[in-house]
């Protein structure tokens, strides 16, 4: 749906015209006048309505694209991006966090298989090298927009998983339903560029920055339950921490 917020520019102001337009569009996004997923008028329409040149309008739009507020999509036009997901560093799943934030989490299972664990993975899960483990790869979407690629490995005797189950529920919810009580995790957060395959799945460009997270989660008996390696779109997602002075 194309939305048309009220826009005016002051040609007598020392503020550049493109910046005046960009600020008004940004205010409309922040205030909810332009809603996530809505489309802007095209450059010709915006230029005509505001009495500006197309290069000026294009510069204003690019300014907001660079700030992560707008996105250009071939065949669709310029859209307002979905709200940024801010996730606290807690022992929760992304599915649970999105649902709690009134988002609409959706999952596409890319792989569900039993594979032999390499030496490093076996060590992380406390298993003998070569032990069979469940490998689970999923694409997580928020409000129908790709957000993260999640890869998890679990010992085969923890829980029985199905594609239907995983596409309707989060992994941690499924584990809890099976009587698994997760209590602690070791977690590392980093960043790197997207590979070609990751970029295609996440609707990003190759090499764009992604947030990374690796996590080994343990139950209340100290047994390693899952080892996860996840990547998130940095343009849509961030981690938040609370720091306390000691």
What CATH number does the domain containing 235 carry? 3.40.1410.10
The span from the CA of 40 to the CA of 71, in Å, is 10
The total number of structural domains in the chain stands at 2
In a domain, 158, yes or no: yes
Specify the range with the lowest mean pLDDT, choosing from 30-34, 124-128, 134-138: 30-34
Q: Are residues 70 and 174 in the same domain?
A: no
In a domain, 3, yes or no: no
Q: State residue 1's pLDDT score.
A: 66
Q: State residue 85's pLDDT score.
A: 55
Cβ–Cβ under 8 Å, residues 153 and 134: yes
Q: Show which of 64, 80, 96 is a domain's final residue.
A: 80
Q: State residue 108's pLDDT score.
A: 96
The span from the CA of 198 to the CA of 191, in Å, is 14
Mean pLDDT, range 69-91, rounded to an integer: 71
3-state helix, strand, coil in the chain (%, to 5): 30, 35, 35
In a domain, 6, yes or no: no
Q: Are residues 135 and 218 in the same domain?
A: yes
Q: State residue 128's pLDDT score.
A: 94
Cβ–Cβ under 8 Å, residues 119 and 109: no
What's the mean per-residue pLDDT of the chain?
87
What pLDDT digit, counting tens, does each position of 22-52 carry? 999 988 888 888 887 788 888 899 899 899 9
pTM reported for the whole predicted model: 0.64
- SS3 (DSSP) at 170: coil
In a domain, 47, yes or no: yes
Q: Are residues 119 and 183 in the same domain?
A: yes
Range of the domain at 202: 85-240
Q: In what order do the strands lie in the sheet with 224-233?
A: 105-116, 132-142, 145-155, 224-233, 209-219, 182-193
Mean pLDDT, range 140-151, rounded to an integer: 89
Q: Are residues 141 and 168 in the same domain?
A: yes
Q: Are residues 131 and 232 in the same domain?
A: yes
């Amino acid at each position: 749906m194309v939305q048309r917020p009220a826009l005016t520019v002051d040609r007598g102001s020392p503020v550049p015209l493109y910046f005046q337009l960009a600020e008004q569009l940004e205010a409309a996004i922040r205030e909810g006048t332009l809603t996530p997923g809505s489309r802007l008028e095209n450059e010709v329409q915006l230029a005509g309505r505001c009495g500006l040149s197309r290069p000026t309008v294009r510069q204003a739009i690019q300014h907001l694209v660079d700030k992560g507020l707008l996105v250009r999509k071939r065949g669709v036009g310029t859209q307002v991006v979905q709200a940024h997901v801010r996730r606290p560093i807690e022992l929760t799943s992304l599915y649970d966090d999105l649902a709690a934030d009134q988002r609409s989490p959706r999952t596409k299972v890319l792989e569900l298989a039993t594979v032999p664990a390499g030496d490093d993975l076996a060590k992380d899960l406390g298993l003998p090298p070569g032990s069979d483990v469940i490998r689970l790869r999923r694409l997580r979407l928020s409000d129908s927009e790709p957000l993260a690629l999640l890869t998890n490995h679990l010992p085969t005797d923890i829980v029985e998983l199905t594609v239907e189950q995983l596409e309707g529920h989060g992994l941690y919810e499924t584990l809890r339903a099976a009587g698994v009580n997760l209590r602690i995790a070791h977690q590392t957060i980093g960043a790197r560029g997207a590979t070609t395959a990751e970029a295609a799945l996440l609707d990003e460009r190759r090499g764009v920055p992604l947030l990374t997270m690796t996590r080994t989660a343990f139950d209340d008996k100290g047994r390693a339950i899952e080892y996860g390696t996840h990547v998130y779109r940095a343009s849509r997602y961030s981690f938040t921490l609370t720091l306390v002075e000691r």
